[in-house]
Structure 1
Amino acid sequence: MSMTLTNHQTAQPRSGQGSAGSAAGSSAARGVGGSGQHPGRGFGGGGPASAMTAIDPIRVLRQYQWVLAASVVLGIVIGVAGHFAWRSWMPVFVANATFKVNDPIRDVMQVGANPGQTGDYIERAQGTVAARLMDPEILRQAIGDPAVRDNTTWIQGFTNAEGRLDIAEALEDLSDRTRAIPMPNSSLVALQVSGRSAGDVKRLNDAIVSVFESEQLTRKNESRQDLSSSYSSLRNELQTQLDGLQSEIEDYVAANQIPPSNFLDPVSQEVQELSSTLTELNQAYAAAAGQVELYQQRINDPSQDYTDEDLASAEADPKVYTLDNTLLQLQATRRAELVGKGPQHRYIKELDRQIQAMQAERDAEFHRVLARNTRVRLEMAQTQADSMALQIEDIEGQLAAKEVRISELSKHQAWLESKKQEKEGLITRIAEIEGSIAATNLYGDSKQTSQVSLWGNALEPDRPEWPKPLISVFLGMLLSFGLTSCFVFLRELTDKRVKGPADVSLISHGRVLGVVPHLSDDPTNPRSIDLISVRAPNGVMAESIRQIRNPLLRAMDRAGHKSLLVVGGQPGAGSSSVLTNLAVSIAKTDRRVLVIDANFRRPGLAELFGVPGIPGLGDILAGEVEAEQGVHVAPDAPGLFVLGAGSTEHRLFERLGTERMAGLLAQFTAAYDMVMIDAPAAVAAGESQALAHLVDASVLVVRALQEDRGLVARLIRQMRESRAEHLGVVLNAARIAAGGYFKRNFKHMASYH
């Protein structure tokens, strides 16, 4: 029989993810705990369920991306409208005047030039000028300027019906709308006056500038004579210091008998020559010491190899030479006599004895000469090394004396250099002051000699300084987006539904066994999850099921479990889809797997696998048929067997918790490697709890964005109180944009096969 594949999720809402279907389990599914657990106690998990939901920002942004985008557009509209309204009702005009801080002493020396200024002086002067511009007395005099009193609408706000001016209120208001700002990284100070009238801010700024410049001119005239007198006194004082310094230098040179300039060079040259000679002697001494050691070793151990030169010298010794000649003559006589006489002849034997004795005498003399020559060379090398050692010691003493002399001369030179620099500094300073005196007398009326000068007059502004279009739009966007974001995240905070693995971990003993992502997150776009492990075994969905299968099998094998109850939290949780795909995947591991449809309310596994549903479990429990008669081999799924729910009249819920059901499960667990039971939703049917007391282990399937965390916590607690060991929770139809799951991982998984 061929397998019939239908969209079981649409026909049976309890078995899938609804119209969208389910997706494969995530690689983030973690293995359950080790063996040795108490039955029914599960595998630990998160802490107590919290009333506040853990928020995944990525998921929230994805879910509400269009709402947030609309809030940004609305914010732009609000910003533009607010900008024009603000500009019409309360515009702010700003008039700017600029002052430049000068250094009076340096400027009078170089009038017309643009000398550099020290940073510390500029910063202090800028602060002084800014404070003076904001001085109440300056502002009070500016209010009394005729151009302000007669030609501004601003002054009318402080004038009563009798024409009397409230100077205190006007001064306070002018102080609030006036700012003097030192400009960083420059020598400028900006004077800003703001208001609703462009003409008023221009006239007020001009009045403040006029009062400030009049005050500066008065101060400059008062201090001109004092400045010239101060320069003269300073010049005389510096000249006295210069004369005293010159006398001190002359006395020091005479007392220490210091030679002319560059007195360090001859001594340094001598040190350099001695150092070079010392280096050469050290190298020669090292070579001589090596020769001494070599000859000493040869004397102590005559068996060491000699150089060709040593051997040739020994062979040239007169006595060795004579013995060699005698030996050659004996050898020649033997060869001549051997022709007429045999080797055993008495005369030949006598010659052999003489040759052997002569050879021994020659060898002994040769080695004696070698030893004598080695001792002679040792004495010569030792003498040479001792001579070099004495030379090295002498040169090192000379170098030490030279270094002491250099140290003394260096101290004298350092002292003279410091005094020379001090002298040059005094001469330069005297020249500068003399130039300042001349410049002060010549250019006393120049504006550049003032501490501060007007750099730029205020112009009447042609457009408001505030509001600014970009800032208005930004504030509108910020307001709209901020309010919308607050609403969205507040809604998420109060939402108690399970949305991702993190929400399950918040529940007491909430262990995530695996995650089945939403069908829309699969890049291959499957139409349904029904038997996806058969239809697309190499796809993303099947791979995700395998990633749930592996920790499940490890947990059951460690504990020796063979029967597993898969139950959904609420109808439509997708427990049937998870169970059927897990069963197919487990059967592919060479295990005999039996799937039992214990959902008497909405059976459908037999139709899904394409096998007869009658007779089935209900008929077996009613005693109508034997157990083997209801089991059928699943087509296209080797190793998988299916037991349907049975006929309608025999599907009694109460029989699922009976001893007969327990015995039937014992019979099946003995015949199959694993028995997997599909139960109705735990919330809608009580038989799920009855079955949980008959099986070895249980798994709860929860659909994301459907079950409340409080409900899931209660179901986990009920399952842990049963006989079955609760292995964990499979989260179904989870959006993979959250919690560390990235859609590109599934694209890589889809393209890997």
Structure 2
Amino acid sequence: MTAANPSSTPSATAPRPASPGGAPRGGRQQAPTIDPVRVLRQHAWLLAGSAGAGLVLGVIAHFTCLFLYPLWGGTVLFEIRPEVTGAKDAVTREIVQDEAIARLGQTESQKMTSKSVLEAAMKAPDIATTKWGQYYDTVDDRVKQLEDTLRVGHRRGTQLFTVTWRTWDKADVPVVMNRVADTYMSMREAEENERSARSKAQFESKRSGVEEQIRTLKAEIQDFIRKNGITAGRESDLADQRSTENLALLRDDTIRDLTLAQARLDSIDRKIADQRFEDEDRRSALDDQSIRALERDLQQLQVALLASRERFGEDHQQVKDLMQREASGRARLTAAMNESMSRNLLADKINFAQRVVGLKSLVEKQTLDLTTGQKRLQELTAQISALDALKEQLVQKELERNDLQDLISQLDLLQAREDARRVRLVQRASTPKELDFPQLKFMMPGGAVLVLLVVAGILFLREFLDQRVKQPSDIAGIGGARLLGVIPDISDDPASPKAAELVVTELPGSTTAEMFRQFASAVRKSMDASGLRSIAVMTPHPAGGATTTAVNLALSLHAAGRTVAIVDANLRRPRVASIFGVDPDAPGLSDMLAGKSVEPHMSHGIAIYGPGTPDIRVYERLTTDEMRRLVARLREKYQVVVVDLPPTLVAGESLVVADCCDAAILVVRAMQDQRGLVSKFIYQLQETHAVLMGTVLMRPEHTIGGYFKKNAELMAEYAKPVSAQPASTQPASKEAKS
């Protein structure tokens, strides 16, 4: 092979390919996420043991409490009755809302446990005879202890509420609880009776005031009738009203006649002034005998004229004489007609003028009479309205008095009804037959749950406080840490490989080898997408798995058909050459940085560049431009160059060498590297302008578990060689069987 001679190599400032597609930048650390299923699965045996220990602890606690502090409990049961809407109701109204029942139950419970009720109950002589009463020898101590220990509650879906209490002597339970219940019921009954009596007194006082107002109104009505002379009946009032209405109708008729007469008079005046006569006037004029005689003479002349014309013609003297006589007769008739019509119109004018004057006088008189009647009617109406108002007030007051009397009667009936009490004592407390505390059926599971919760809480707290990278989800929470692959521990591999360094070639059917191949596939896609040729593999801590990752990555890429060179840049603890069976002290990287020509060693088809001669392994040369030029020359010679770097925490040159390569892969060791350290390292890479392709998580705990375990077993089983069966031994198909 051609020697890697620095004198004939590309420039150290060769352009860097584009950063891997999809690789996010930024080293900001996000809040860690906890997978509860994973945590519980990892500590399943511990949790199971904790539950068992809790059961034992529950049994011990049960017998301890049974000996030291046994408690007997009792219950008093009360019923909240529906409200009686009326004293005459046959049944009470049902309460349908649980919220209303619960609210009433809480109210009554607070009343029962009030200090006044408890003080009255604890003063009873029978309380002092109980062991509990003798232990708490003062009323204040008893009340304070009951306030702390009495428990009230509502039974959902019912109209019942309960009061429970516990003490160490079972004989004291019914005495104390029944005394409290009886005191509460007696005080409640007294309170209801007092409230009813107070309400009744208020209603009776108001009824007396209303009766006094009724007497006053009756006296006012009698005085009003006497003062205004209003009769008891309404006949005269109706007669006055009808008379006024008839007078108004007569006046309207008179006004209408006056309007017609005035219109007729105006029409006559216009005819006389204009000498314009109508057919009606002409027909009236024809009733005159003289005009009829003139009309007959004219008709006779017209007949004679017509006969003469037919006999003699138009030019005859007799015809001309008759025509003159006919014209003279017509003129006399017209003059007589005009004179008669004028005479008739003048007579009509005098007649209608007299009628207009008479009608106007009548309208004035009727208007005066109507005004007087209306005024009298208005006064009467106002008096009657005032009287009706007084009577209406009297009716309202009488109704109010009746209502008050009815309310007083209902109060008396309600007070007499037993079912009108809102609270009823349903069940009194009896001497308990079984212990209320402790009970083994509760103590055992309670102890188990308590211990289980404590242990689980400790586990989750430790998981939250532990900042180490443990699972792939921890990597996902770090900004810029793109996850390229997860490599399990070989102890979790069903194929049981002896070592992981050459597992891709030595045990290709193992789960570990398959995970390295999947990781190499993701790297290959990023390289092809961005044109990358050189990759630096690095890790924060020693023994982080960078060398194992670099070796298996090189083997996988070579198996994919790439020409691959691997460079061991870990001059402090080199291992690449030893893994491939090459002498680690042979000439290599250090010699090339010193300007010497070095031929690589070939193993498994990969060019191996070891650390070089021990005497010239100078760490500082890794940070010079010569290292950058060397990587650039190798990029031209091989399709893939994998550089194994020392841990960044112990070797500062790792970040500089990573910047010499196209991209870097960060190997994170699970249960060793802290999330903050990984985030800081990504930030340092960005500061040195190095490109981070992604991260690899090495050896996480319990990676092969659950569904992943099944997949790993399937990988191992599928990788086993299967011998081909003869055709005659193969099972027949369903079609052949059928």
Note the alpha carbon deviations across 1:348-405, whole angstroms, 9 max, x for none: xxxxxxxxxxxxxxxxxxxxxxxxxxxxxxxxxxxxxxxxxxxxxxxxxxxxxxxxxx
What pairs up with 1:14-413 in 2 under 5 angstroms?
A: 36-37=18-19, 43-45=23-25, 47-49=27-29, 53-98=32-77, 119=96, 142-143=121-122, 147-149=126-128, 151-157=129-135, 159=137, 166-167=138-139, 169-171=141-143, 173-174=145-146, 177-178=149-150, 181-186=153-158, 188-208=160-180
Aligned partners of 1:104, 1:649: CA distance in 2, in Å?
105
What's the C-alpha RMSD, in Å, of the aligned pairs? 5.2
Match of 1:677 among 629, 637, 643: 643
User: Per the alignment, in what secondary structure is the counterpart of residue 566 of structure 1?
Assistant: strand
Match of 2:548 among 577, 583, 594: 577
User: Residues 42 and 205 from structure 1, CA distance in 2 versus in 1: closer, same or farther, beyond 3 angstroms?
Assistant: closer
For residue 488 of structure 2, what is the amino acid of its counterpart? P
Q: Is the 8 A contact 1:565 1:677 kept in 2?
A: yes
Aligned partners of 1:116, 1:622: CA distance in 2, in Å?
102
Aligned: 1:705 with 2:684:
no
For residue 607 of structure 1, what is the amino acid of its counterpart? S
User: Per the alignment, in what secondary structure is the counterpart of residue 526 of structure 1?
Assistant: coil
Q: Is the 8 A contact 1:598 1:678 kept in 2?
A: yes
Aligned to 2:329: none
Note the alpha carbon deviations across 1:317-357, whole angstroms, 9 max, x for none: xxxxxxxxxxxxxxxxxxxxxxxxxxxxxxxxxxxxxxxxx
Q: Is the 8 A contact 2:65 2:438 kept in 1?
A: yes
Aligned: 1:640 with 2:640:
no
Q: Is the 8 A contact 1:46 1:505 kept in 2?
A: no
Q: Is the 8 A contact 1:515 1:548 kept in 2?
A: yes
Aligned partners of 2:419, 2:619: CA distance in 1, in Å?
106
User: Per the alignment, in what secondary structure is the counterpart of residue 171 of structure 2?
Assistant: helix
Aligned: 1:599 with 2:570:
yes
Aligned partners of 2:657, 2:527: CA distance in 1, in Å?
18
Match of 1:464 among 435, 439, 450: 435
Of stretches 61-70 and 705-714 in structure 1, the one that deviates more from structure 2 is 61-70
User: Per the alignment, in what secondary structure is the counterpart of residue 584 of structure 1?
Assistant: helix
Percent identity of equivalent pairs: 31
Aligned partners of 1:105, 1:726: CA distance in 2, in Å?
82
What pairs up with 1:488-527 in 2 under 5 angstroms?
A: 488-507=459-478, 509-527=480-498
Of stretches 650-659 and 211-220 in structure 1, the one that deviates more from structure 2 is 211-220
Aligned to 2:530: 559
Q: Is the 8 A contact 2:565 2:638 kept in 1?
A: yes
Note the alpha carbon deviations across 1:123-142, whole angstroms, 9 max, x for none: 89978986786677776665
Q: Is the 8 A contact 2:26 2:683 kept in 1?
A: no
Q: Is the 8 A contact 2:494 2:510 kept in 1?
A: no
Aligned partners of 2:66, 2:531: CA distance in 1, in Å?
79
Match of 1:544 among 515, 529, 535: 515
Shift of 1:641: 3.0
Q: Is the 8 A contact 1:612 1:632 kept in 2?
A: no
Shift of 1:516: 1.9
Q: Is the 8 A contact 2:492 2:704 kept in 1?
A: no
Asked which structure has the greater CA Rg, the reply is 2
Q: Is the 8 A contact 2:541 2:649 kept in 1?
A: yes
Aligned to 1:733: 699
Q: Is the 8 A contact 1:62 1:737 kept in 2?
A: no
Q: Is the 8 A contact 1:621 1:660 kept in 2?
A: no
Note the alpha carbon deviations across 1:204-253, whole angstroms, 9 max, x for none: 23445666788999999999xxxxxxxxxxxxxxxxxxxxxxxxxxxxxx
Aligned partners of 1:709, 1:104: CA distance in 2, in Å?
68
Of stretches 199-208 and 607-616 in structure 1, the one that deviates more from structure 2 is 607-616
Relative to the length of structure 2, the TM-score reads 0.54
User: Residues 174 and 575 from structure 1, CA distance in 2 versus in 1: closer, same or farther, beyond 3 angstroms?
Assistant: closer
Note the alpha carbon deviations across 1:706-734, whole angstroms, 9 max, x for none: 22344434443444444753323222112
Aligned partners of 2:430, 2:145: CA distance in 1, in Å?
21
Q: Which of 1 and 2 has higher RCO (CA within 8 Å, sep 6+)?
A: 1
User: Per the alignment, in what secondary structure is the counterpart of residue 627 of structure 1?
Assistant: coil
Shift of 1:650: 5.0
Shift of 1:509: 3.6
Of stretches 128-137 and 730-739 in structure 1, the one that deviates more from structure 2 is 128-137
Shift of 1:67: 4.9
Shift of 1:78: 4.4
Aligned: 1:586 with 2:575:
no
Aligned to 1:531: 502
Q: Is the 8 A contact 1:606 1:612 kept in 2?
A: yes
Q: Is the 8 A contact 1:181 1:191 kept in 2?
A: yes
Q: Is the 8 A contact 1:47 1:506 kept in 2?
A: no
For residue 91 of structure 1, what is the amino acid of its counterpart? P
User: Residues 563 and 456 from structure 1, CA distance in 2 versus in 1: closer, same or farther, beyond 3 angstroms?
Assistant: closer
Q: Is the 8 A contact 1:600 1:653 kept in 2?
A: yes
Shift of 1:573: 0.8
Aligned partners of 1:221, 1:699: CA distance in 2, in Å?
89
User: Per the alignment, in what secondary structure is the counterpart of residue 513 of structure 1?
Assistant: strand
User: Residues 738 and 134 from structure 1, CA distance in 2 versus in 1: closer, same or farther, beyond 3 angstroms?
Assistant: farther
Shift of 1:582: 0.9
Note the alpha carbon deviations across 1:150-193, whole angstroms, 9 max, x for none: x312232454xxxxxx5455455456554565533345554534
Q: Is the 8 A contact 1:593 1:641 kept in 2?
A: yes
Shift of 1:37: 3.7
For residue 574 of structure 2, what is the amino acid of its counterpart? P
Shift of 1:617: 0.8
Q: Is the 8 A contact 1:56 1:738 kept in 2?
A: no
Aligned partners of 1:125, 1:701: CA distance in 2, in Å?
68
Q: Is the 8 A contact 2:47 2:455 kept in 1?
A: yes
Q: Is the 8 A contact 2:177 2:429 kept in 1?
A: yes
Aligned to 1:294: none
Aligned partners of 1:526, 1:203: CA distance in 2, in Å?
78
User: Per the alignment, in what secondary structure is the counterpart of residue 527 of structure 2?
Assistant: helix
Note the alpha carbon deviations across 1:88-139, whole angstroms, 9 max, x for none: 4443322234456788999xx9x9xx99976569889978986786677776
Of stretches 76-85 and 211-220 in structure 1, the one that deviates more from structure 2 is 211-220
Aligned partners of 1:733, 1:185: CA distance in 2, in Å?
58
For residue 528 of structure 1, what is the amino acid of its counterpart? A
Shift of 1:506: 4.7
Aligned partners of 2:668, 2:106: CA distance in 1, in Å?
69
Shift of 1:583: 1.0
User: Residues 663 and 82 from structure 1, CA distance in 2 versus in 1: closer, same or farther, beyond 3 angstroms?
Assistant: same
For residue 168 of structure 2, what is the amino acid of its counterpart? R
Aligned to 1:323: none
User: Per the alignment, in what secondary structure is the counterpart of residue 641 of structure 2?
Assistant: strand
User: Residues 673 and 197 from structure 1, CA distance in 2 versus in 1: closer, same or farther, beyond 3 angstroms?
Assistant: same
